[in-house]
Amino acid sequence: MKISKIKAKIKKTKYSIIIGDGAINYLKRQIGSACPKTRKIALILDKNIPSKQKKRIKRQLKSYSVYTKEYFPSEKLKSFNKVNSLVESLLEKNFNRNDTVLAAGGGIIGDFAGFVASILKRGVNFINVPTTLLSQVDSSIGGKTGINSIRGKNLIGSFYQPKAVIAELSFLKSLPKRELVCGFAEILKYSLIRDRNFFKWIKKNSKIILEGKNNVVLKDAIVKSCKNKIYFVAADEKESGKRMLLNFGHTFAHAIEAASNFSKRINHGEAVLIGMLLATKLSVRKKICSNLVLNEIEKIYKANNLPSNLIKYFQKKHFNKIVDYMVNDKKNNDSRINLILLKKIGKTTMPGEVKMSVNQMKNIIKKIS
């Protein structure tokens, strides 16, 4: 299979995204070109990566002094205590600004390691090797790093671009179906907010993507998603305008995760799928988009048995708790909840165009769930 290389150009920052079966073999070369003065590497590993794949990563790092830390990818990892512990370890190992933090794992590991890289000595090199579908199509690109607060998800963090991203397709072979569903949520999101042709392609290929076995289809989905993500990030790195459109469904989703206390019964991608459907139903109620749009989206959910019902995870009496977390969303700039809603497939409302009070949202969430 031919390797795909995408150049991300975000203001003055440029980096390569390498995608394909065998992309991991480009890791040593990317470190050498993007971080030529690196002598030490902090390898932050997801414990769920199969040992065979861990060895493939480590073989690429033989020229360096490598300090390895492994973590289970739980949202509870994203805390000040864990960050402080890793930072102190790296300072003790005399890491300097020329050295590199390398994340190999899903979105949680990337968020955590990227944040550490951004604050260690005010910034060391960061390279991301995403190993889940969600992290390959979304979280590894664009420079968002962060940890959680008791008040909500990813409320503490920084914008810090990686030096390179290596998306190795073979990592996806060991993923359970639930993880593929998570990645599919973000793939679907890109089509809904910007790319109707991509949506048509997804309708034809959704089952193949979710099987996780066809590398040609998977690579196409990842490449198309990455290009869409770069479009928004290049236009608005610090999320003051157009990049906020990437949060379609996420205002609901992050609140759902926080209200569940980041429990394993609902993960990020599942929450995003429910959040996008809630946002679309709200769009219909506000007469921003038609029922036909909602029906077209629901067909994909039903065909693939995707999470769609909030009541499966929460009793209605707990819906107000979700809304309370929505108030703390990063995109809000006053007491109202800032929402990105759908006009049609491929087009959304703009940031600030739709805002709702807490009481309005508490009344309507029960009707659209």
Active site includes 239? yes
Q: Rounded to an integer, what distance in angstroms lies between the CA atom of residue 57 and that of residue 33?
A: 17
Residues 187 and 198: their CA atoms lie apart, in Å, by 9
Give the active site residue among 148, 247, 267, 338.
247
- Rounded CA-CA distance 38/31 in Å is 8
* CA–CA dist 331, 327 (Å, integer): 9
Element (H, E) at 127: strand 125-130
Active site annotation includes 362: no
Residue from 75, 186, 257, 270 carrying the catalytic annotation: 186
Residue 229 annotated as catalytic: yes
Residue 267 is a catalytic residue? no
Q: Is 264 an active-site residue? A: no
| Contact call for residues 109 and 173 (beta carbons, < 8 A) | no
Instruction: Give CA–CA dist 32/30, Å, rounded.
Output: 5
H/E stretch holding 113 reads helix 107-119
Give me the catalytic one of 56, 144, 194, 281: 144
Catalytic residue among 153, 163, 219, 229: 229
Structure tokens at 327: 């108030």
318 is catalytic: no
Catalytic pick among 268, 270, 330, 338: 268
Q: Is 321 a catalytic residue?
A: no
Q: What is the dihedral of CA 186, 192, 198, 203, to 10 degrees?
A: 90
75, 168, 179, 239: which one is catalytic? 239
Catalytic choice (194, 254, 281, 330): 254
Catalytic residue chosen out of the listed positions 224, 243, 281, 330: 243
For the record, the structure tokens of 37 come out as 């003065």
* 289 vs 348: CA distance, rounded Å: 9
Q: Is 6 helix (H, G, I), strand (E, B) or coil?
A: strand
Active-site annotation holder among 54, 224, 250, 281: 250
To 10 degrees, the CA torsion angle through 83, 85, 91, 93? -120
Q: Which residues are catalytic?
A: 122, 144, 186, 229, 239, 243, 247, 250, 254, 268
